[in-house]
Structure 1
């Protein structure tokens, strides 16, 4: 088995992707079951919701298929994994989390068709280019600058204001440049080191603040893959990567580089556009008219109700984190689905509030 992984670098990446996904899946285990206190946000109302037994069968099928994929990365096995995840995401859009769908992109990228490993590597590289480029560009907004400046003022108040301001306004362009740097062979090594440094800072902050552990597997996977596959790569140049010579590559260029642009005009989801930690997504609370309305809620929902200055509300992020261990998917259609679920228990209408 050691020789198998030694002979094929992408086999190591497949194993790493399997481990990363399983760790995140384990940390959010309740997300994958239909019966839980936080409601499912189906994309299509006509989709039948599976019972607990079917949930277990689907999970086992997914885990086994992913395990087989490590050793047999053909497009049929990769297709089963991808289709299962798409089905899950259509059942509940809260499953569209970066630490899941990016790894599904990886599965799609390194599913061999006629043994074309070079194409697999180029598609894999496009995932990283798109992720870091757009993650940076989406941070260019007033809310991000305001939040980041406030954070720096609390953590490093001794640094001169102008230095904090320059650094804050440079962040979007720096991260976007890291992504673009991966495209070119001459700048790839530097870009990888800068990305690794950025992730170390982010993970250190999470460790210090005691949250965000579920992003660790994907983060480690990204850094490991960049060093292991692309650090000494001399083959995949800009011209080769952006040749429109395979349908699969064109699909990845669209998914990673083109479609995220439409988020800028409100036509594409924030998270799918790699708008990470940008301050752009609006998070939601459901407000009740009075305390009596909240008493009609089931106990599992009622215990998540908060009171502030006589106002009663449900913070959807806090509720989802307790129930399914991930943040709610930050799109209006999801918020309205959750509101509809809550409204069926109360007589007076609720209202959505955003922050």
Structure 2
């Protein structure tokens, strides 16, 4: 039996897409539950000082309510009111802690809002989700066109850690710049998805790409960033369901009525290349760009020593060394934000909590390859 017969109508296809996305959204939130609560060691980094004082119970309530709403959307008939409640809950929850703003959260929120605003216009929803995917692959590739991606992700993670190749082999066979094929392929597929006649065929190539990412990052590969495994499964499902009928067409009338989305997805990301727009809203995925935060702490800080990264012991002169990124992966099951402002604020919160005499915090600018020690201000 053809799978598409079970959701032949456009409205049924939208309902299935929403339920599939909410299913993976639910799994993501459960897997990374500490990202969504405040009862943890990793610092809560609110965008505004007043929100920093929100009690942990409220974080937990918003998290619990989101789980309930997601479950109801999955189980029952598609309901616009439930989607509105979910959208509001997620926006409020993300507003309480910057670490919650991840690429998949941005994607799910955008899709939810497109359905809310175009509940009786399935063709508009299909086209907007299609354009979101085009922007995702295009800017994801564009962000990877940098030396840091080749150094840290291509050479260190793929060639060395995954394939086990030595530097001698990499140099001998000139494999270093072969890594540029990854971003070039992403950009090419984005253009093919946008201009190509058969989006269905292109979707199969993109599905294969995500299967490859799962093999690379999954438990039988690098076993890294487990939250992304779920997102890649979601992307595979979305690509399959969205393009199976191969009936998405570029409609100027629809586009002209949806200019805010076009600005958000295609114009605003340009500013991220100049440090003037949020990286995770710009489809910056595994580009190895941004700022990293490192912590040196006394062994007496027992809650921090759990996240000891032995590779930083020498840098910390024998003290416990911690990379915030690895700490986030271990405790939250999600990455830390690459934004300089958020990294600085996280460092200041840690200095205030543990005392400048007990820990030192350093910011590393990956692009400039420079290390800066955060100073202890008087209020710390």
* TM-score for both structures, normalised by structure 2: 0.81
State the distance in 1 between where 2:334 and 2:30 align. 12
User: 1:1-355 residue pairs with structure 2 within 5 A?
Assistant: 7=9, 8-47=12-51, 49-70=53-74, 71=76, 73=78, 75-111=80-116, 113=118, 115-147=120-152, 148-151=154-157, 153-154=159-160, 155=163, 164-165=175-176, 167-207=178-218, 208-234=221-247, 236-238=248-250, 240=251, 243-246=254-257, 249-287=258-296, 291=298, 295=300, 297=301, 299-306=302-309, 308-309=313-314, 310-312=317-319, 313-344=321-352, 345-348=354-357, 350-354=360-364
Q: Deviations over 1:293-319 (max 9, x none)?
A: x53x4x322433456222533311222
Report the number of matched residues: 344
What secondary structure, in the 3-state scheme, does the structure 2 residue paired with 1:210 have?
A: coil
Closer, same or farther: CA 109–197 of 1 in aligned 2, 3 Å: same
Structure 1 stretch displaced more, 328-337 or 257-266 = 328-337
Distance (whole Å) between structure 2 residues aligned to residue 175 and residue 277 of structure 1? 13
Deviates more, 1:319-328 or 1:149-158: 149-158
Per the alignment, residue 374 of structure 2 pairs with: none
Conserved in 1, the CA contact under 8 Å of 2:210 and 2:232?
yes
Give the conservation status (yes or no) of the 8 Å contact 1:259–1:273.
Answer: yes
Deviations 1:52-76 (CA, angstroms, capped at 9, x unpaired): 5433432232223334445555554
- For the structure 1 residues 342 and 3, does the alpha-carbon distance in structure 2 shift closer, same or farther, using more than 3 Å as the test? same
Q: Is the 8 A contact 1:317 1:328 kept in 2?
A: yes
Distance of aligned partners of 1:172 and 1:185 in 2 relative to their CA distance in 1, 3 Å threshold:
closer
Structure 2 distance, partners of 1:186, 1:113, is: 25
| Larger RCO: 1 or 2 (CA < 8 Å, sep 6+) | 1
2:47 and 2:278 mapped to 1: Cα distance? 13
Matches of 1:166 and 1:300, distance apart in 2: 42
Q: Give how far 1:84 is off.
A: 1.6
Once the two structures are TM-superposed, the CA of residue 242 in structure 1 deviates from its matched residue by: 7.8
Q: CA deviation at 1:19?
A: 1.0
SS at match of 1:350: strand
Length-normalised TM-score, structure 1? 0.86
Q: Does the 8 A contact of 2:155 with 2:176 survive in 1?
A: yes
The 2-side partners of 1:279 and 1:322 are apart by 19
Q: 1:214-256: CA deviations, max 9, x gaps? A: 112221221222222223322x323x1685332xx22221222
Q: Which runs of 5+ in 2 are unaligned?
A: 367-380
